[in-house]
A = this chain, B = another copy of it.
C-alpha cells in the first residue's frame, strides 16, 4: 500500500493548450514502483484546465483553443472583469473542461490510450505559473 503526494510547478505558458504528460512523469519517478493504482492530478487554479486528448497532431490543440474562444467570448453582460477581457471566459472554460483528472496506473505507467496525452489549457492571455498536486494510491 503506497501513498505518494507531490506538488509540481509546471513550466509557465501564455494562452494555449500544451501537452504535459512527459513533464509530469519526469517529476514522478516513484510511479515505476506502482503495480496497480490510480493517480489524481489536481490543478490548483480557476483560470486553467486539465484535459486528456490527442497527443500527436498540434492542430488539435490549436483548433480546440480557437473553438473555446468562439464558444466563450467576453460577453458584454459579464460583471466580473477586474482582470481584463480574458478573466470571466477563463473561469467558464475552467469549469467546462475541469481541473482534476484521475488516471489508472498499471505496471508503473499511466494506463493511457495510444493517442491520449494530458493537456494543460492555459486560459489567461499572459503567462502564469501553474501548480498541480499529484496523489497516487496504489500497490507494489
Task: Show the binding face of A for B, using Cβ within 8 Å.
Answer: 1, 3, 5, 36-38, 40, 42-46, 51-54, 57, 59-60, 62-64, 66-67, 70-72, 75, 77-80, 82, 88, 91-92, 94-104, 106, 111-116, 119, 131, 133, 135, 137-139
Contact = CB atoms under 8 A, between A and B. Distances in A.
26 contacts: A1-B1, A3-B138, A37-B135, A43-B113, A44-B112, A44-B114, A44-B116, A46-B113, A52-B100, A54-B91, A57-B80, A59-B78, A60-B80, A60-B88, A60-B91, A63-B79, A63-B80, A63-B92, A64-B92, A66-B75, A67-B78, A70-B75, A95-B119, A100-B101, A111-B133, A113-B131
Number of copies of chain A assembled together: 3
A91 B64 contact: yes
Interface of chain A, main secondary structure: mixed
Contact of A67 (B40, B45, B75, B116): B75
Nearest to A100: B102
Given A3-B36, A51-B98, 6 more contacts: A36-B135, A46-B53, A46-B113, A63-B75, A63-B80, A63-B91
B137 A37 contact: yes
A52 B135 contact: no
